[in-house]
Structure 1
Amino acid sequence: MRRVVVFGTTGSGKSRLAQRLAERTGLRVVELDALYWGRDWQPAPVDLFRYRVENEVRQGDWIVVGNYGQVRDLTWHPADTLVWLDLPLPLVMSRLVRRTLKRALTKEELWGTGNRESLANAFFSRQSILLWALRTHHKYRERFGAECAALGQEKRVVRLRSAAEVERFVSAGPLGVGQASLPY
């Protein structure tokens, strides 16, 4: 496990899992959100975003965190392991609510961009991350399932469906020894 992509729905724990894997493996974490979002929540133009990602994954070993379809070819193709956090919606939503409240109350800056989550935006806006998670959870599950199935045996795909499976995967060691690729 030298080039890893951690993906899953919003709030599933991608960044936390990537950090834990990085601590065990020494791999560098590439946070796609940090490459995509600019000040005032302005997204990078696609060409710039792809350029940034290409520079990050060109050399060395890494753990990429994120779901961006615009760069999936740049991240999934060179990866040897794909880790799919496919957790139940109630668990995802409870984690996302806690994370959003914490970030909003502490005014945590995200990715060095000056961006911060707010209670108003999280709970009372059409751009709510909570609404986004509710709307996309099922859609992402279907999309990721189809994309992983299309890979066949080309990549090691680990689909983690519960907090217990995540813990077993992390505890298995740097190579995920004892953790077989799970069926979709």
Structure 2
Amino acid sequence: MLSATDPLPARPRRVVVAGVSGVGKTTLAGRIAEVLGIPHTEIDALFHGPDWTPRPEFLDDVRALVAGDAWVTEWQYSDARPLLTARADLLVWLDLPFATVTLPRVIARTLRRRLRREHLWNGNVEPPLHTFFTDPEHIVRWSISTRNKYRERIPVLDAELPVARLRTAREAERWLAGPLTRAAR
């Protein structure tokens, strides 16, 4: 497993960013794409159809994405993960402290999106706030219930492809400016 200061073995062309909901995967994926000069595809936009229904063509869209020469996306959705991992040449694990960083982020993001009625993928908006108590898959509850799963899943992948584990926001910044920028040259 690579640290925030370890050099990358090669210039990555296909990158997946892993981490619990609300940790900042999409933001980091966009920044990685910018540094590398390659496209970022937000995987949530491929998955969610109107009214939060899964799009039937989701896996076909993921297959088309990974067939490309260069891309960055988030490592999400159990059916998509093997497809992404099979073609990725780098996995970036954003493993920030849950209680002090990720949980406040996912709560703030959810509140902001709901209160501003921000349109997300395919016209969706965050559901009413009371659904936190009624929907077991509410994004905040999902983040809490899945927060430890990556510690089980990702170390296994380290044998298959390079994994850069970033444990703080400072490490993420150091990695973007250091090993990733050097590999992009």
TM-score range, shorter chain: 0.7 to 0.9
1:128 to 110, 120, 138: 138
2:103 to 93, 100, 113: 93
Could you tell me how far apart the structure 1 residues matched to 2:31 and 2:145 are?
A: 28
1:156 to 151, 158, 162: 162
Structure 1 unmatched runs, 5+: 178-184
Task: State the TM-score, normalizing by the size of structure 2.
Answer: 0.84
User: Where does 1:42-61 land on structure 2 (aligned, <5 Å)?
Assistant: 42-45=53-56, 48-61=57-70
Could you tell me how far apart the structure 1 residues matched to 2:75 and 2:163 are?
A: 15
Could you tell me how far apart the structure 1 residues matched to 2:167 and 2:151 are?
A: 11
| Aligned CA distance change for structure 1 residues 119 and 142 (closer, same or farther; 3 Å) | same
| Aligned CA distance change for structure 1 residues 121 and 41 (closer, same or farther; 3 Å) | farther
1:33-58 Cα deviation digits (max 9, x unpaired): 1111110010134xx32111111221
Partner of 1:172: 178
Percentage identity across paired residues of the two chains? 42
| Aligned CA distance change for structure 1 residues 44 and 138 (closer, same or farther; 3 Å) | same
Higher relative contact order (CA 8 A, sep 6+): 2
Count of residue pairs the alignment pairs up? 170
* Structure 1 position 174, deviation (Å): 4.0
Maintained 8 Å contact 2:35/2:181: no
Maintained 8 Å contact 1:29/1:65: no
Structure 2 unmatched runs, 5+: 1-11
Maintained 8 Å contact 2:93/2:165: yes
Please state whether the residue corresponding to 1:9 is helix, strand or coil.
Answer: coil
